[in-house]
Structure 1
Amino acid sequence: MVVDDQTSMRAMIRRALQDFGFKDIRDKASAPEALSAIRNDRVHLIISDYNMPEMDGLEFLATVRKDEVLAKTVFIMLTGSSDREVVQKAAALGVNNYLVKPFAPAALKEKIERVFGALS
């Protein structure tokens, strides 16, 4: 599940994931929409922007980690800021990995492989 309020960023990440071999890629423009979707149809990976209206990435991560069913879902946070405080809060909440925008698809692949192992 790709969660970002920017349509172009969601499209870029979807293309990269398809190139990495992922088949079932869904995306949502907001964390509340994504929560509703993943509660009804589980996912193995969430790639979420930090800076979003309604619910930011940290709130989204905290909500996922508190949910008994979703808590173990791999969560990679994206942000346009390398603000240490945000990184530390995400780490404290249990983020699996973190990526600063802009990034190359190879960097995203590396972050995913650190969690799942080599992608074929």
Structure 2
Amino acid sequence: MPAAAALHVLVVDDQQTIRSLVRNSLQQLGVREIREASDGEIALREIITRPAHLVISDYNMPNLDGLGLLRAIRAHPPVQTTAFIMLTGRADRELVQRAVQFGVNNYLVKPFTVAQLKEKLEAVFGPLT
């Protein structure tokens, strides 16, 4: 994968504080192109209009949850290969299995550290330079 600075990321969470935390963590890793959405419906419109390399999405959101967003992205051919990391406060097996079934690339449990985020990104894209 190219440098972290070349990644385009869409961060989706209904809580502004979490979006800010993810944005700040990504910036510490060198990611510069970061967009945000406050729910899955907004995120889906955003990703179709302006594709990204990666979606980092919360699971539990109003309107369209993270699994619904993942399924919608995987069902839309122009963006179906977009990398997707599920961000969740619950690490329960059922959720993880359903996310894997729908094509999630990785998942990150809140709260997380910058090092954990980097590890998840590198598991998807390879070493960040």
- Given the two structures, how large is their TM-score scaled by the length of structure 1? 0.97
User: RMSD of aligned C-alpha atoms?
Assistant: 0.7
Structure 1 stretches of 4+ with a deviation exceeding 2 A read none
Alignment match, 2:32: 23
**Alignment equivalent of 2:48, drawn from 39, 50, 54:** 39
Q: Distance in 2 between matches of 1:79 and 1:7?
A: 15
**Alignment equivalent of 1:10, drawn from 19, 28, 31:** 19
Alignment match, 2:4: none
- 1:25 Cα shift? 0.5
1:56 and 2:65 are equivalent in the alignment: yes
Q: Distance in 2 between matches of 1:107 and 1:11?
A: 16
Aligned length: 120
Residues 18-71 of structure 1: CA deviation (Å, up to 9, x unaligned): 111111100110111111111111100000000101111111100000001111
Structure 1: runs of 5 or more not aligned: none
1:70 and 2:79 are equivalent in the alignment: yes
Q: Distance in 2 between matches of 1:42 and 1:6?
A: 22
Q: Distance in 2 between matches of 1:115 and 1:23?
A: 18
- 1:75 Cα shift? 0.1
1:91 and 2:110 are equivalent in the alignment: no
- Given the two structures, how large is their TM-score scaled by the length of structure 2? 0.91
Q: Distance in 2 between matches of 1:26 and 1:101?
A: 20
- 3-state SS in 1 of match to 2:34: coil
